[in-house]
Amino acid sequence: MSDTALLIIDMQGALLGDAHEAEACLREIADLAGRARSAGVPVFYLRQRLHDVPADLADVHPAVAPLPGDVVLDKDSADSFLQTGLGDSLDRRAVRRVVVTGFASEYCVDSTCRSALSRGYDLVLVSDGHTTTERPPGSAPTAAQVIAHHNTTLSAIQYAGRSTAVVPTAQVRFDGAPAV
């Protein structure tokens, strides 16, 4: 049994319409989800509750849609652990390491990464597996800069007794070997 879980955060159609390189991010996450399932690693989907949005847009994007056996949890805040049951679900499966992907880098992805570390999980952030909203031309920081900033910050962050890694999809391992 694996001690790892894959988290896919807020990859919902309504949120991805103006996301930075959304199609590339969806491809990377789809690859990871397939590899995780093949390795017997549980896949968790976190969905932001969206009000006044058509149901088909509030759902997870079809390119990375949950399959039978995946866990889908709804949330009302940026922190995927807050009042969702995620921590209890991970603990029941003896998960010690989370691989994090999703939308939006500076909000839900960042909050979930930090919360996971605070709750005692080791962290792997997939550097090409998270995205955020494009900014208008000339805005600073750009979406690419926001993503790069979070990759850099979370690769250097230290939590006592926890390991952190920020790696591209191709380097994520689900066979118990180190991520890098």
Q: How far apart are CA 105 and CA 121, in angstroms?
A: 19
Average pLDDT over residues 163-171: 97
- Are the C-beta atoms of residues 8 and 45 closer than 8 Å to each other? yes
Q: Which two tokens stand for residue 141?
A: 């920081």
Check whether 180 has a pLDDT greater than 70.
Answer: no
Burial (CB count <10 Å: 0-12, 13-18, 19+), residue 27? middle
- Mean pLDDT over 117-121 rounds to 98
pLDDT at 122: 97
The confidence score (pLDDT) of residue 121 equals: 98
C-alpha angle 89-91-96 in degrees, rounded to nearest 5:
120
* pLDDT tens-digit series, residues 5-17: 999 999 999 999 9
What confidence tier does 139 reach under pLDDT thresholds 50, 70, 90? confident
Helix axes 110-118, 143-156, angle to 10 degrees: 10
Contact 96, 86 (CB under 8 A): no
Task: Reduce the DSSP state of residue 131 to 3 states and report it.
Answer: strand
Alpha helices of 4-161 — where are they, by DSSP H? 13-16, 22-38, 55-58, 86-92, 110-118, 143-156
